[in-house]
A and B are shown apart, each in its own frame.
Chain A
Amino acid sequence: VSNLIIIEGGRVIDPATSVDGIRTVVLRDGQVAEVSERADPPAGAIIIDARGKWVTPGFIDLHVHLREPGQEYKETVASGARAAVAGGFTSIVCMPNTSPVNDTLAVTELILARAAAAGLARVYPCGCISRGSGGEELAEYGELKAGGCVALSDDGKPVMSSALMRRALEYASVFDLPLTVHEEDLALVGKGVMHEGAASTRLGLKGIPGQAEEVMVLRDIALAELTGGRVHIAHASSAGTVRAIRDAKRRGIAITAEVTPHHLTLADEDLAASGYSTAFKMSPPLRSAADLAACVAGLADGTIDCIATDHAPHSPVEKELEFDAALNGIVGLETAFPVCLALVKTGRLTAQRLIEALTAGPARAFGLPGGTLARGAPADLVILDPVAEWLCTADRLHSKSWNSPWLGHRLTGRCTHAIVGGRLVHQDGKER
C-alpha cells in the first residue's frame, strides 16, 4: 500500500529547484514524487488544502541545544524535536554540550535512540572537537562519525588553542566533517556580558567588542586555508565577521556560516530598552544596529549560508537572576520563522532567500539530505501560513523552556503542517 499525500493550491517555494508559484506537491512512500502545475489526485491520497499558504521543504537547523543527556529539566530530545516540528524544522543538528558532552559513541547513540522514539524531527548529533570539550585533546572523530555525528563542535567554548584547531581541521578532513566554531577570543571577552557600545556604557554592563569574534574568524579562515578543512562559523554576529567570510569565500576557502534570527532582528539597544531582561542575554551578544544590518546584508547576498536558531533552553532558575549571573541563550525553534519573516515583509530579504537559508542553505553547508522538493528527495515538507497572527506565550511553546525575548509578543507567520518522511508530525499547533 503506498502512502500518498497531496498538497494542493499552495505557493510552493523551493529555491533548490528554482520553483516559486502555485503548485501541487505529491509525496509518495516517504519521498517527493512530483511538484507540478496540476495533478489529478489518485484515489486513496490524503489531500491537504494549502491555498493561501506557503509550501516549502522542511527547515533544517544546524544549531540546536537539546540538553539531553543531563539537563532534561530544560529540554529533552523529544521536547526539542516537538518544538522543532512546531516551528517548521524537520531536521535539527544538536550541539554536544550536554552532560556528559557528546564526545563518545554512547552519547551519540543515546541521542539517536531518543530521537527515534520521539519520531518527530530528524535529529543529527554534533560531536565534540576536543575530548570533554576541554580544548586539549582530539575527540574520536572516526567513532563519532560512524555513530551518526554530522559535524564537530565545542560549542559555547571557543577553541582557543590555534594548534588544536589546526590538528582538528586536518584530522576531521579524513571524515569530511565540518567544524562548527563558536568564535570568541576569551581574553577580549573578559567578563563581558553584552556588546560593547553606547548601550553597555549606559547600562554599566561589561562590553564585548565585535572584534572578539572577528579575530577568531580571521584565525580560522587562515587555518582553513592551511589545512583545507571545513570551517562553519556558528552564529555570525559582527560586521567584521561578515566581511571576513565574504573575502574568504571570494578566495575560494571552504567556509560556511550561519546567523541566528535574533542577530538579524535585535540589537544592543533592544536589550537596553528591555531593562536588563535576561531574555536578551546570549553569546555572542546582540550587537549594534550596524552589525545587524551587515548580518542581514550578508544573508541576503549569500555570504552567510543559512539561518540557525541556536535554540538554547534555560529554566527560570538560570534566567531570573542578575544580568551578570544569568546564563546565555534563548529558545528559537518556534519563533524563527515569524521573526525572520518580518525581514521579508519589510523588504530586506526576499521570500526565496529566506526559505533557501532555512532549507537548501543548511543542507548544502553540512551535506545533509533534504532541503529541497526535488523528485526523490525525502518527503520532509512544511506548510506555512505567512499571515497568521499568534501570541507567543509559555503555554503556546512546545519547548520545555520559554526564555525568549518574544515572549508576550504577537508574531505573524506560523507553521501549520510539518511532514517528516511522508508522515504528518505536526498540524495546527498540535502534535499528530
Chain B
Amino acid sequence: VIGRQRHCIALEDFSREELLLVLDLAVSMKEVLLRPIKKVPSLRGKSVVNLFFEASTRTRSSFEIAAKVLSADALNWTSATSSVTKGETLVDTARNLEAMRPDVLVIRHSASGAPRLVAQHVACAVVSAGDGAHEHPSQGLLDCFTIREKLGTLEGKTLAIVGDISHSRVARSDLHAFPKLGTTVRLCGPPTMIPVGVEKMGCTVTHDLRTAVEGADAVVMLRIQHERIGDPLIPTTREYSRLWGLNAAKARNWLKPSALILHPGPINRGVELSPDVADGPHSVILDQVQNGVAVRMAILYLLAGGDPAEATA
C-alpha cells in the first residue's frame, strides 16, 4: 500500500504525504539503478502483469525493468482489442489474469476510467500506466521526482505545461500532484486545447507562450498529435510550432537560465520542441526516462506489500 492507497490509479486520490512516500522511496530506488549490479531481491516471488491495450514501448519497458530490478517476475500482455465488439470484455480479461494470481496488474487503456473498472473486479493491486485522457500517475510522479531532484525542492516553484491539455493524461496527473507539493502550475495552449473548467483544478491558464514560460522554473512541453480527424484543434503543426513551440531563440530570450524542460515523449521534433532545445542545456528529458524506472520501482514495491524501510536491502 501507498499510505491509504491500495492502487495507483489517479494522483487525484493521493495526499501530499502519499506522494512524498513514493518520491522519497524512489530516491533509494534510483541508487539501486546506478549500482553495477542492478538487482535487489525485494520482490522475489512476486509477479507483475503488464496489461497494455494501447501501444507503448517506453512505459511498458519502464515497468518491466522496474519489476525485474526488484526481482519480481514480469509478464507482458498486449492486446490491440479494447472494445466489446472485438471479443473478450475488459472485465473478463482482468478476471482471467487475476486467476493467474499476480501481485500487481499494470494497465494502460485508451478509455478513461478503465483501470478503476479493473480494480473493482480483481483482488490484486492495480497501477494505471495511463488511461485515456484521465491520468498517467507514474508520469506525474516522475515529473515531480525529476524537478525535485534538479531544483532541490518543489516548494515555491512554478511549472508551465504547454500543449494539448484537453487530451493529456500527463497534464492531469501533474495538475493533481504539483500543487499538493507547493508548486504553482500555469497551463498554456490554444483555446481549442484547453479543457473547460480546468482552472478549477488549481492552475492559471494563458494562451501566450511567453507569459507561460517567463519566470517558470520548469516547463513541460506536451506532444502534439499531427492530425485529429474530425476535430480540428489547430490549423497546422507549422502554425502551432510558431506560436506554441519552443525553439532556441525563445528559450534564450524567455527562459530562466536554470529552467528545466520536460517532455513525456515521444517528441515531435520541430513541432513542440526544436531539436536544439530538446537536446540543449535546459532539457532533462532523458533524466525523466531514468527516473521513471525508479519511481515505478517504488510504486510496485509499495503496492506488492513491501516495507519502505527494507526496500533496497
- With A204-B131, A204-B134, A205-B132 already in contact, the answer to whether A197 and B196 are too (CB < 8 A) is yes
- With A202-B172, A202-B201, A204-B169 already in contact, the answer to whether A321 and B90 are too (CB < 8 A) is yes
Contacts of B198 in A (CB 8 A): 198, 201
Whether the Cβ atoms of B197 and A320 lie closer than 8 Å is no
Whether the Cβ atoms of A324 and B196 lie closer than 8 Å is no
Which A191-211 residues have a C-beta within 8 angstroms of B?
196-207, 209
Whether the Cβ atoms of A325 and B113 lie closer than 8 Å is no
Rounded to whole Å, the gap between the CB of B48 and the closest CB of chain A is 22
Q: Which residue of chain B lies nearest to A276 when distances are taken between CB atoms in the complex?
A: B113
Whether the Cβ atoms of B197 and A204 lie closer than 8 Å is no
Contacts of A321 in B (CB 8 A): 84, 89-91, 117
Whether the Cβ atoms of A322 and B197 lie closer than 8 Å is no
Whether the Cβ atoms of A322 and B133 lie closer than 8 Å is no
Rounded to whole Å, the gap between the CB of B134 and the closest CB of chain A is 3
CA distance A98 to B160 in the complex (A): 51
Rounded to whole Å, the gap between the CB of A185 and the closest CB of chain B is 14
A275 interfacial by beta-carbon distance below 8 Å: yes
- Pick the residue among B84, B91, B113, B196 that contacts A198 (CB under 8 A): B196
- Pick the residue among A199, A209, A320, A324 that contacts B132 (CB under 8 A): A324
- With A190-B231, A321-B89 already in contact, the answer to whether A200 and B114 are too (CB < 8 A) is no
Give the tally of cross-chain contacts (CB within 8 A). Answer: 77
Contacts of A190 in B (CB 8 A): 230-231
Contacts of B91 in A (CB 8 A): 320-321
CA distance A300 to B132 in the complex (A): 40
CA distance A321 to B84 in the complex (A): 8
Whether the Cβ atoms of A322 and B117 lie closer than 8 Å is yes
Whether the Cβ atoms of A323 and B12 lie closer than 8 Å is no
Whether the Cβ atoms of A204 and B196 lie closer than 8 Å is no
CA distance A127 to B66 in the complex (A): 60
CA distance A318 to B91 in the complex (A): 12
CA distance A199 to B113 in the complex (A): 13
CA distance A26 to B236 in the complex (A): 74
CA distance A276 to B79 in the complex (A): 22
CA distance A209 to B197 in the complex (A): 12
Whether the Cβ atoms of B84 and A204 lie closer than 8 Å is no
Contacts of B169 in A (CB 8 A): 204
- With A190-B230, A202-B201, A205-B132 already in contact, the answer to whether A276 and B196 are too (CB < 8 A) is no
Contacts of B252 in A (CB 8 A): none
Whether the Cβ atoms of A203 and B113 lie closer than 8 Å is yes
Contacts of A206 in B (CB 8 A): 133
CA distance A319 to B90 in the complex (A): 12
- Pick the residue among A196, A207, A317, A323 that contacts B113 (CB under 8 A): A323
Whether the Cβ atoms of B196 and A203 lie closer than 8 Å is no
Q: Which residue of chain A lies nearest to B92 when distances are taken between CB atoms in the complex?
A: A320
Contacts of A318 in B (CB 8 A): 84
- Pick the residue among B82, B109, B134 that contacts A203 (CB under 8 A): B134
- Pick the residue among A196, A200, A276, A325 that contacts B116 (CB under 8 A): A276
Main secondary structure, interface of A, reads loop
Contacts of B124 in A (CB 8 A): none
CA distance A204 to B91 in the complex (A): 20
Rounded to whole Å, the gap between the CB of B136 and the closest CB of chain A is 10
Whether the Cβ atoms of B196 and A200 lie closer than 8 Å is yes
Whether the Cβ atoms of B112 and A323 lie closer than 8 Å is yes
Whether the Cβ atoms of B112 and A325 lie closer than 8 Å is no
Rounded to whole Å, the gap between the CB of A281 and the closest CB of chain B is 11
Whether the Cβ atoms of B89 and A200 lie closer than 8 Å is no
Q: Which residue of chain B lies nearest to A321 when distances are taken between CB atoms in the complex?
A: B84
Whether the Cβ atoms of A205 and B197 lie closer than 8 Å is no
Whether the Cβ atoms of A204 and B116 lie closer than 8 Å is no
Contacts of B110 in A (CB 8 A): 324
CA distance A202 to B116 in the complex (A): 14
Contacts of A275 in B (CB 8 A): 113, 116
Which A276-319 residues have a C-beta within 8 angstroms of B?
276, 317-318
Rounded to whole Å, the gap between the CB of A405 and the closest CB of chain B is 16
Which B80-115 residues have a C-beta within 8 angstroms of A?
82-84, 89-91, 109-114
Whether the Cβ atoms of A198 and B132 lie closer than 8 Å is no
- With A201-B201, A202-B12, A204-B134 already in contact, the answer to whether A322 and B196 are too (CB < 8 A) is no
Contacts of B90 in A (CB 8 A): 321-322
B135 interfacial by beta-carbon distance below 8 Å: yes
Whether the Cβ atoms of B112 and A320 lie closer than 8 Å is no
CA distance A321 to B82 in the complex (A): 10
Task: Mark A122-156 against chain B: 1 for CB-CB distance below 8 A, else 0.
Answer: 00000000000000000000000000000000000
CA distance A209 to B195 in the complex (A): 12
CA distance A325 to B114 in the complex (A): 10
Whether the Cβ atoms of A201 and B195 lie closer than 8 Å is yes
B200 interfacial by beta-carbon distance below 8 Å: yes
CA distance A254 to B267 in the complex (A): 57
Which B189-225 residues have a C-beta within 8 angstroms of A?
195-198, 200-201
Identify 23 residue pairs between A and B in the complex whose beta-carbon atoms are under 8 Å apart, listed by A's number: A190-B230, A201-B166, A201-B198, A201-B200, A202-B172, A203-B113, A204-B112, A204-B113, A204-B133, A205-B113, A205-B132, A205-B134, A206-B133, A207-B195, A275-B113, A317-B84, A320-B89, A321-B89, A322-B82, A322-B117, A324-B111, A325-B84, A325-B111
Known interface pairs A201-B197, A318-B84, A325-B111; 17 further A-B residue pairs with C-beta atoms within 8 A, sorted by A's residue number: A196-B196, A198-B198, A198-B201, A201-B195, A202-B201, A203-B113, A204-B113, A204-B134, A205-B113, A205-B134, A275-B113, A276-B113, A276-B117, A320-B89, A322-B117, A324-B111, A325-B83
Residues of A at under 8 Å CB distance from B? 190, 196-207, 209, 275-276, 317-318, 320-325
Question: Nearest 9 A-B pairs (CB), nearest first?
Answer: A198-B197, A204-B134, A276-B113, A322-B111, A204-B133, A204-B112, A201-B195, A324-B111, A198-B200
Residues of B at under 8 Å CB distance from A? 12, 82-84, 89-91, 109-114, 116-117, 131-135, 166, 169, 172, 195-198, 200-201, 230-231
